[in-house]
Amino acid sequence: MSFYLPFGEWVYLCIKKDNMSAILDRFLSYVKIDTQSDPNNPAFPSTEKQWTLAKILEQELKDIGMTEVTLDENCYIMATLESNVDYQVPTIGFVAHIDTSPDYTGTNVNPQIHENYDGSAITLNKEEGIVLDPNEFEDLLLYKGKTLITTDGLTLLGADDKAGVTEIVSAMEYLVQHPEIKHGKIRICFTPDEEVGKGAHKFDVQKFGAEWAYTMDGSEIGELEYENFNAAGAKVKIHGKIVHPGYAKGKMVNSILIASQFIESLPKDEIPQMTEGYEGFYHLNQINGLVETTELNYIIRDHDRAKFEQRKKDFLGVADKINEEWGKTVVEVEMKDQYYNMREKVEPVMHIVDIAEQAMKNLGITPKIKAIRGGTDGSQLSYMGLPCPNIFAGGHNFHGRHEYVPLESIEKAIEVIVEIARLTAEKKV
C-alpha cells in the first residue's frame, strides 16, 4: 500500500485551499519591483534596485518564522527552516534569483490576470497590437482552463525568476504552518545578478551549509534538469577610421562593414532560432556601431565540453582571419567562460535527482528530464561543491513581452518543494 500519492493529494488540496490568493498576491508584489541587472556594470550587485526586493524578502522571511535570516553585503539573502524531526537528515537547500533579464525592460511591470483561459489569442496591448497567440506559442494550449499571468505587452513579466522566489517563500511558510509535515533542516538563498552570469560568484557555499540544493528556475511544469550548456561570453571590438565621406577613398575604414563580415563568417545555422536539444550556438545579442568603432556582444554555448572548446577556437579564428586580411589588428576579442555543464558534478549523487523525480510522481506530475538550453546558478554552484539540479518554476517565453506563467504551475512547484522536503526526511538519505 503506497503512502505517497494520498499524501501528495492532501498536500495539494491544503496548499490550494489555504494559499491560492496569497500566492498570487505575493508573486504580483514581487514582479512589480524593478530588479533588472546590468551586464555592463562590474559592481556587485550590478544594479542598486535589486536591494529593494532583497530587503523586502529579508523582512518577509523573518515574518513567516524562518531563522538565521541574513542579507549580506553582496545582496545574498539566506535563511533557515529548522528540522522538526529527532533523527539525522541531510540539510538541503532551495535557490532562486531576484534579478530580471537585461534583455528587456522590467520597469513598471503591469501584470494581467486571465482566469479560465479558453485557448484563444490574448491581447496584451490593444494600442500597440501586441498579442499572445497560441498559433505562435503552442504551449499556451497546455493551460486551457488555468489562470494565466501575462504582461501588458510593454515589459517582461519577471517570472524568471520571481516565480521561483514566490515558490520557495510560500513553501517555507506552508511548512512552518504545518509541522505535521516532517522535514530536516532546509536552507534557502536568493541571489542577485544571475541573468548576467554572476549569480553564484559570491555565493558562500560553506555558510549555506547544505549537502545539496535545487534551483527553482526552470520553465514548464515537470521540468527537472541536471545538464546545461557550457557557456562563454565574448565582446568583439572592431576598429575603423573616420574621415569625411567626400574624401574617404583609400582612407576610411568602416568598422560596421567589418562587423558585418565577422557576423557573416560564423555558421548561419548555428544560432538559437535554428538549434534545439544538445545543439550549440553562437548568439549575437547586442551590437553598437559607428564608422570608427563597432562592438558586438556574443554568447557561445554547447553541452559537449570538447565541442564548446572548439566553438571558442573557431570564433577566435574568424577574428584572426579578418586581421590577417587587413595586415593589422582591426578586430579584438575578449572572451570569458561563464559556467560549465553541471552533469559531471550531479551524476555521482544522482539520488538528489531521484528524490525530485519521485516528488513529482507522487504529486501526479510527469517529470520531464532534459538538458537546459541555458544555465542557472546551479551550474556554477555544482562546481563550487553544492550539487544543484534545476526544477520548473512554471513560466514561459522568458526575457520578453510575451512572458507568462500559469498560477497553477506556481502552486505545483510549491507542492514539489514541500514533497522533496518530506521525502528527504522520510528516506533519511
Q: Which residues are catalytic?
A: 99, 194
Pair 155, 107: CB distance under 8 Å: yes
For 383-426, give the secondary structure using H, E and C. Answer: HCCCCCCEEECCCECCCCCCCEEEHHHHHHHHHHHHHHHHHHHH
Contacts of 182 (CB under 8 A, 6+ apart): 84, 85, 422, 425, 426
Q: Tell me which residue has cell 578586430.
A: 331
Evaluated on CA atoms 85, 88, 90, 93, the torsion sign reads positive
Dist. CA 69–CA 46, nearest whole Å: 23
Q: Could you tell me where the DSSP H helices lie in 64-126?
A: none
Nearest to 30 by CA among 10, 57, 48: 57
Whole-angstrom Cα Rg for the chain: 23
Nearest to 137 by CA among 154, 127, 155, 124: 124
